[in-house]
């Protein structure tokens, strides 16, 4: 059977209700003034090589395609992989340095960008959340001053489940999503239900996001081009000049990005960080 063609010319996405989030119901201050409050999306994992920056890049493309003004912070100092792909909106920071914490948190209300994406370097998620806790960020979230979304990119190993226990204290008032990243063909085994339950007894997630596989060659070509996914699809180079990327590879990337966007929409990411009047 021939596959149905994938919708590639995307219209403005229909608004959907986010999946049921038990913890959201316990945060009454959150709903009232959501549209005006700045949002922080943290993308991280304590394990390396699970594709955090790929997810952060996909989010930046997704929000940009939905006309949501976004800025990004790359904590991979000094190299800054996210910065390489999105140099205009990304600042490289060290989350453990007070001066850099001020650049992020103290400007949340004054920045024109109402969404800030923080790409946390490998192994830095727990320390980053600890640092945010120390400066009172989570109290501000609880108080309804900011919105907070955590995308926890997990690997297929049991070590990823152990990470969940470590970050549990920080996610009580967050929209906490587990992200299974298949972009590099990672296969996830089904965890034993008892083992799974043991790790989730102290944390409630808002849902699970699955990032589909992208052909290695297509992924590699985007890496080489050093551009956002959407720029590669538009056949432009990093300077905005016409490029000569293969249509086949652009087609694969376009379809992949559309599927990723479907996942973000499914879990209601736009409603969580965007202007609800949109």
Partner 1 sequence: MAPRTLAFFVCSPHSRTGVTTAARLLTDYYLSRNVDVEGFDTDFREPLYAVFFPEATRIVDVSEIKGQISLFDRLLVADETPKIVDVWHRSYERLFATIAEIGFLEEARRRGVEPIVLFQTDVTESAANSALVLKTTWPDLMMNVIHNRGASPLGADSLAILARYPASGKFVIPSLEAPIARALNDVDLSLSRFMREPPAGMSLVVRAALKAWLSPIFTQFQSFELRLELQSSEWLR
Which residues form the interface with partner 1 (CB under 8 A)?
A: 1-6, 8-9, 215, 217-218, 246-252, 254-255
Minimum gap (Å) between residue 188 Cβ and partner 1 = 23
Shortest Cβ 260–partner 1 spacing (Å): 15
CB of 246 to partner 1, least distance (A): 5
Residue placing its CB nearer to partner 1 in the complex, 190 or 244: 244
Closest approach of partner 1 to the CB of residue 253, in Å: 9
For residue 70, list its beta bridge partners: 115
Q: Answer whether the bond into residue 42 is a cis peptide, omega within 30°.
A: no
Which CB sits closer to partner 1, 70 or 225?
A: 225
Q: Rounded to whole angstroms, how far apart are CA atoms 232 and 68?
A: 20
Burial of residue 204 (CB within 10 Å: 0-12, 13-18, 19+) is: middle
Q: Which is nearer to partner 1, 139 or 220 (CB)?
A: 220
Beta-strand (E) ranges in the chain?
Answer: 39-44, 70-74, 90-92, 115-119, 147-154, 175-181, 207-211
Question: Dihedrals φ, ψ of 42, to 5°?
Answer: -105, 125
Q: Which is nearer to partner 1, 102 or 217 (CB)?
A: 217
When the beta carbons of 157 and 246 are compared against partner 1, the nearer one is 246
User: What's the rounded Cα separation, in Å, for the pair 264 and 270?
Assistant: 8
Q: Is the Cβ of residue 103 or residue 259 nearer to partner 1 in the bound state? A: 259
Q: How far is the CB of 249 from partner 1 (least distance, A)?
A: 7
Beta-sheet pairing, 70-74 with 147-154: unpaired
Instruction: Report d(CA 133, CA 145) in Å as an integer.
Output: 14
Name the minimum Å distance from CB 234 to partner 1. Answer: 13
């Amino acid at each position: 059977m021939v596959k149905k063609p994938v919708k590639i010319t995307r219209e403005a996405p229909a608004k959907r209700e986010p999946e049921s989030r038990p913890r959201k119901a316990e945060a009454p201050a959150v709903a009232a003034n959501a549209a005006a409050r700045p949002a922080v999306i943290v993308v991280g994992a304590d394990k390396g090589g699970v594709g955090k920056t790929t997810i952060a890049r996909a989010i930046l493309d997704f929000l940009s395609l939905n006309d949501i003004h976004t800025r990004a912070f790359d904590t991979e100092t000094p190299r800054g992989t996210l910065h390489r792909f999105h140099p205009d909106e990304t600042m490289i920071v060290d989350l453990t340095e007070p001066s850099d914490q001020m650049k992020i948190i103290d400007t949340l209300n004054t920045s024109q960008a109402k969404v800030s994406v923080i790409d946390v370097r490998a192994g830095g998620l727990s320390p980053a959340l600890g640092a945010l806790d120390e400066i009172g960020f989570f109290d501000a979230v609880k108080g309804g001053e900011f919105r907070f979304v955590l995308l926890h990119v997990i690997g297929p190993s049991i070590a990823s489940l152990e990470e969940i226990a470590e970050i549990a204290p920080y996610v009580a008032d967050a929209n906490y999503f587990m992200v299974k990243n298949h972009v590099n063909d990672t296969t996830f085994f089904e965890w034993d239900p008892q083992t799974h339950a043991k790790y989730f007894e102290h944390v409630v997630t808002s849902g699970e996001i699955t990032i589909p596989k992208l052909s290695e060659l297509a992924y590699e070509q985007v890496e080489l081009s050093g551009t956002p996914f959407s720029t590669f699809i538009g056949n432009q180079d990093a300077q905005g000049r016409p490029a000569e990327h293969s249509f086949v590879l652009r087609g694969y990337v376009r379809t992949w990005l559309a599927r990723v966007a479907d996942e973000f929409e499914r879990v209601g990411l736009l409603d969580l960080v965007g202007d609800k009047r949109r």
